[in-house]
Amino acid sequence: MKEGFILEEELKKLPAKPGVYLMHDSADEIIYVGKAVSLKNRVRQYFQKSRSVTPKIERMIGRIAWFEYIVTDSELEALVLECNLIKEHSPRYNTMLKDGKSYPYLKASVQEAFPRLLFARQMKRDGSRYFGPFTSGKAIRDTIELVNQLYHLRNCRRNLPKDTGKERPCLYHQIGQCLAPCQGGVTQEEYQKNFQKALRFLQGDTKGILAELTEKMTRASEEMRFEDAAACRDQINSIQQVTEKQKITSDDNEDRDIIALARGGDEAVVQVFFIRGGRMLGREHYYLTGVEEEPDTAVLSAFIKQMYSGTPYIPKEIWTEKEVEDAGAILDWLSAKRGHKVYFRHPKRGQKERMLELARRNAFMVLTKDAEKLKAERARTIGAMEEIQSLLGMEGLVRVESFDISNINGFETVGSMVVFENGRAKKNDYRKFRIRSVSGPDDYASMEEMLTRRFEHSQRDNLSEEDSFKHLPDIIFMDGGRGQINIAERVLDTLGIRVPVCGMVKDDHHRTRGLYFQNQEIPMDTHGQGFRLITRIQDETHRFAIEYHKLIRGKGQVHSILDDIPTIGAARRKALMRHFSSLEQIKNASLEELKEVPGMNERSAAEVLRFFGKEEGKDE
């Protein structure tokens, strides 16, 4: 419980106003974010003995150490804030959208005197007209190339008409695909007529151009201009291929997204059909986690809020099979983002219902097809953590931190910290350490310095949420046995931190064989997912430390004291480091011992002795 936080007193202070509440656990992690029309009524419900909640929320309540809230002026503001906070903190008990996809657009720069068709990753308020979003960047580029050929549009970056005549025309003009507005080869009015035809083509009006090309092809064939006829034929085929991808779903030319849901356990798949101008331009599926025990209305609500908070384009209509939780507030929010009214539709019959059914079947196909893959992924991550928890007799293990030391005979020692959450590597939280206070190959002392620095950092005030050191692990895995565990436990005891420490034990062949926990070695099933996860953690910790050490050496940042000895170059320095186990041994070596090093002659050995303040052949 947060210091000074008294639950009964804080519940009394809750205002009867709209807002957002954030639930924290004992490690100060945000585990749930929710919105409320009345914070007083909503938050108090969690702590009433007569509450009726799902098992998932009951587990969440059991972990709440304290809460905070933010008051807003309206439910709509609360909804927007809730979306932002969920996206920022990814609370473990919120239903979360796993994909962070964005889709490209076809951009028509209608605000230019001589407009162009461009590929765009984002939709901006720049006066241009946008088509999409599309699920395939290649489809956009193919379409741009085809339309430019059909209507002889430019694709250069010249500022026209300002730069007219400054440079010679490009290759596209030479091959007859561009009318060269850069040279005044076409007036602005004539060019705009062609561009308007191109826009109508992009909106689906292809009958005119197909008829025109068919006529040209026939005439060229009759006049035995077979190359021209073949070019027309290829353009007709390209147009038909493009238009075949745009399945007509209605004749009302509206923009809409069709959303269908398929569920299985704690996983769900949402299928979205993108309908633009009455045509389906593409489709995409999304994975959701944390949906178990949540009703469909809540899952759809969570998905819609997270998806549309990250996309610049909002369609006029959103079709779903069922009602959406908080529909009124969501529609107000989407309408404000779009600048025009947005509607939810729930078709029950006819062609519209069949489109929803098609989306639903696709969602189930994806879920069924990927069920084994999702099951295997869960087994190797969350399932593996559950297996380790069972072996150790613990529960609630989410965040794991592991540490390792790397050096070459004690030279330029570095350390690594890797982090796994729910069985997955969390690489943004990895950290590197250059050991400062230890000279020579003393892994225990180096480990003590690294752990002290890591956990002292966690006790600093005003750490941001992005700081990896702010979050304490649920368990520490040490790459070694009892000795490494003793070091870690001593550091934690000194700092007053309670985190269990477990050793990852290797056999004589340097292969993982089990765990060392609470003064006993725990054997593991070498074919189990838990064992494989431990091996991955151990290998990743070792890899990260070695790569950092190589990076430092590769950049020439390692400066050994041996570099300052005359006649001792890189080859002899490496030979000295291989022959002696530490810098201290080199300092104490005799002339004869130094001459035994490969590549060392008597003169070089004498230079080493003189450098360390010793006479030739005599110890100090």
Percent of the chain as helix, strand, coil, to the nearest 5: 45, 20, 35
Contact of 167 with 211, CB cutoff 8 Å: no
592, burial (CB in 10 Å: exposed 0-12, middle 13-18, buried 19+): exposed
Distance CA 372, CA 77 (A): 41
Distance CA 157, CA 139 (A): 22
What type of residue is 370? D
* Distance separating alpha carbons of residues 170 and 173, to the nearest angstrom: 6
DSSP 519: T
pLDDT computed for residue 190 by the predictor = 92
Tell me which residue of 270, 469, 309, 500 sits closest to 397, measured CA to CA.
500
Pairwise pLDDT comparison (125 vs 94), residue with the higher score:
94
pTM higher than 0.75, yes or no? no
> Residue 233 pLDDT > 80, yes or no?
yes
Decide which of 270 and 204 is more confident: 270
Q: What is the pLDDT of residues 507-546, one digit of tens each?
A: 777 677 888 888 888 888 888 899 999 989 988 988 888 8
| One-character DSSP codes across 43-72 | HHHTT-TT----HHHHHHHHH--EEEEEE-
Tokens representing 515 are 């765990």
Q: Which pLDDT score is estimated for 301?
A: 92
Instruction: Output the pLDDT for position 410.
Output: 54
Contact 98, 287 (CB under 8 A): yes
Backbone angles phi, psi at 407, to 5 degrees: -160, 170
Per-residue model confidence (pLDDT) at position 246:
43
Strand ranges inside 162-307, DSSP E: 247-248, 256-264, 267-276, 279-289
Could you tell me the pLDDT band of residue 616, with boundaries at 50, 70 and 90? very low
Q: How confident is residue 476, by pLDDT bands cut at 50, 70 and 90? A: very high
Q: What is the pLDDT confidence band of residue 588, given thresholds at 50, 70 and 90? A: confident
For residue 363, the model assigns a pLDDT of 84
pLDDT in tens, 374-428: 677 778 888 899 999 999 988 888 899 999 888 765 567 788 899 999 899 988 8
pLDDT score, position 78:
83
Question: Which pLDDT value is given to residue 370?
Answer: 66
The more confidently predicted of residues 307 and 577 is 307
Return the higher-pLDDT residue of 268 and 32: 32
Pairing assessment for the beta strands 343-345 and 317-320 based on DSSP bridges: parallel
C-alpha span between 173 and 158 (Å, rounded): 14
Please state the separation of Cα 103 from the chain's center in Å.
Answer: 16
